[in-house]
Amino acid sequence: MTNPILADWQTPFDIAPFDRIADSDFAPALEAALAEHRAEIAAIADSPEAPTFANVVEALEAAGGALDRVLGVFFTVAGADSNPAREELQRAFSPQLAGHFSEISANKALFARVAAVWEAREDLELTDEQQRVLMLTHRGFVRSGAALSGEAEARMKEIKARLAVLGTEFTQNLLADERDWFMDLSEDDLEGLPDFVTAAARAAGQEKQAAGPVMTLSRSLIVPFLQFSPRRDLRARAYRAWVARGANGGKTDNRAIATEILALREERAALLGYDSFATYKLETEMARSPDRVRDLLMQVWAPARARAEEDAEVLTAMMQEDGINGPLEPWDWHYYAARRRKAEHDLDEAALKPYLQLDRMIEASFACANRLFGLEFRPLDIALYHPDCRAWEVTRDGRHVAVFIGDYFARGSKRSGAWCSAMRAQAKFPRPQAPVVINVCNFAKGDPALLSYDDARTLFHEFGHALHQMLSDVTYESVSGTSVARDFVELPSQLYEHWLEVPEVLAEFATHAETGEPMPAEMLEKVLGAANFDQGFQTVEYVASALVDLAFHDGAAPPDPMAKQAEVLADLGMPHAIGMRHATPHFAHVFAGDGYSSGYYSYMWSEVMDADAFAAFEEAGGAFDPERAEALERHILSTGGSREAEDLFLAFRGRLPGVEALLKGRGLIAA
């Protein structure tokens, strides 16, 4: 019987036949796909023909189709709908895949052919995109250690394999801590909580098969609990569990894993001749160097910390008015900040939430994409990997563009956070293929599902990533969609968040869940007026995490990352009542893989650009100015990584922005 993952998919738009795929299919499918890829690589490396762009670089682009298919399906379900079998497969696959790709990068015959094409590049009549792909291919081999030999080559292979294992263990430990912890709540414990929080707590209790409502470590549940629960003791207990993820001792503790990961990264960079892992990692980013990253972050830190300290004084006074002495604690901040926002802006999250229905916010994100780029969305009735998922065909002028899948609800089998992935990326070589793009979020379930304003912003953010994938229009998959510098990849997503705050968008789509009435003009004004509320807190918790990440990788690896974290925060003068957004034991951005290691700053680097990019629309004909929209698609969204990121932004805006736009956008300096 043919393995359903490897068989021809007789499905609409060649979507994976999830209803026919069993967990037992993954291992044999991967084994077959790896064997096929090895044969393809051998044919390229051992070819008797003189090396050319076509028989080396394009051949590498065309190779691995079956492997891409297997991994696209597997990592989709492993991240969003895990189970013990999939976790075991992930632990087995990680070193297997690391070893496979290490073999490719260490293939001397293959690297010699890549290098030969690279040396002859001036004599080849290549397009700009082909020149870019050749450069990235050659650079990728060099940075992977292709030029190493002997003991250094063998050690590099060991390091890559071990890092793959450790990243998987870190992720699974974090998922286990998030999945296993919950706090039983009595009916009295629900007092003072809005209906949407109590409903979510009851639903979580049913999922955990508890006797009643529970508090879990899902961000969409714990944050509103911290905002609204008048029970300081329960807030403290929930907060401590939240920040202790990955640091509870026992088999799910991530602290030793983080230590080993940092040491191995330092060794890896040294083998390649770099002073530090941060120097190695940032070489290919817009920032280029640790010093430029630190300079940006410190420019933002000072005004953010000053604002946070001012806010802490106000919140402390409010707490003391409640008869609570002592310092403001981290489990107090959300609660008193929510009360302050209601007092100063008369904006109540509980009153706002019925106007932010999930379905209406999805419609809003689609409607903006339609007005900006002419995209249309038609629901699809197809088998997906979980009943919560839904799918749409994306078209423009009647032409198929992509399939978009939304997986919006929190569940125990899904890792926390929100992300966008492409199960299939756009390309024209070796054959045309339209993308299949997935947005994964962790919103609380409800009937109807209601979002916080931050949730709604997350939805728009992830859809901005999806647009980057869907509107990609390049030849080669290696530079398609979000295959760009890490500190540029967040530009389209953070830029798209701005459209949520366009008054006419909220006026049309923010309608009450029960009455259907649009959000009152007065409330809309308050929502937009409060957009920068608590930015001192939000900026401090983010920048602190980014600076700790940089400190971990810029220099010798710390023998005790927790001590290094404490040292960095002390040097910064971290406010007592604010914790890092991601403390080391649950800093998945940095330790689940190399993606954001030395790169967590990239959200802020991109925000410097997104604030200025949206200003381009405002300076033109407004948020939906057609000329600016066309320029955004032509210069940024459609081009993927086919050109240097800095060149793409310059082509769109005509100049590079300064940090002032970000500070003004966050309300940290006067506009």
CA atoms within 13 A on the CB side of 130: 16
Which region, left, alpha or beta, applies to residue 516 given φ > 0 means left and ψ of -120 to 50 means alpha? Answer: left
Which residue, among 549, 642, 535, 528, has the nearest Cα to 597 in the 3D structure? 549
- Residue of 271, 311, 355, 265 lying closest to 552 (CA atoms): 265
Q: How far apart are CA 610 and CA 509, in angstroms?
A: 24
Rounded to whole angstroms, the Cα distance separating 247 from 173 reads: 10
Nearest in space to 328 (alpha carbons), one of 554, 562, 577, 91: 577
On whether the CB atoms of residues 450 and 353 are closer than 8 A, the answer is yes
Q: 111-137: b or e for each residue (b if 16 or more CB lie within 10 Å)?
A: bebbbebbeeeeeeebeebbebbbebb
**Both structure tokens of 340:** 């302050």
Q: CA-to-CA distance for 178 and 384, rounded, in angstroms? A: 25
Distance, CA of 53 to CA of 123 (rounded, Å): 11
Instruction: Tell which phi-psi region holds residue 351, choosing left (phi > 0), alpha (psi between -120 and 50) or beta.
Output: alpha
The SS3 of residue 176 is helix
462 included as an active-site residue? yes
What DSSP designation does 520 have?
P
The sign of the dihedral angle between the CA atoms of 652, 655, 656, 658 is negative
CA distances to 356, 503, 607 from 527, in Å: 12, 10, 21
- Please state, in angstroms and as integers, the Cα–Cα distance from residue 118 to each residue in 57, 432, 441, 476, 645, following that order: 10, 26, 42, 17, 22
Concatenated DSSP letters for 285-342? SSS-SHHHHHHHHHHHHHHHHHHHHHHHHHHHHHHHHTT--S---HHHHHHHHHHHHH
**Residue 100 near residue 37 (C-beta atoms within 8 A):** yes
Q: Is 202 exposed, middle or buried (0-12, 13-18, 19+ CB in 10 A)?
A: middle
Task: Give the number of other Cβ atoms within 10 Å of residue 466's Cβ.
Answer: 29
Antiparallel, parallel or unpaired: β 390-396 and 182-184:
unpaired
Q: 549-562 burial, b if ≥16 CB within 10 A, otherwise e?
A: bbbbbbbebbeebe
Nearest Cα to Cα of residue 625 among 635, 636, 614? 614
CB contact at 8 A, 13 and 393? yes
CB under 8 Å to 73, separation ≥6 — which residues?
5, 16, 18, 21, 26, 423
Single out the catalytic residue among 169, 349, 462, 541.
Answer: 462
As a whole number of angstroms, the distance between CA 425 and CA 535 comes to 36
What tokens does 276 get?
């530090």
Which residues are known to be catalytic? 462
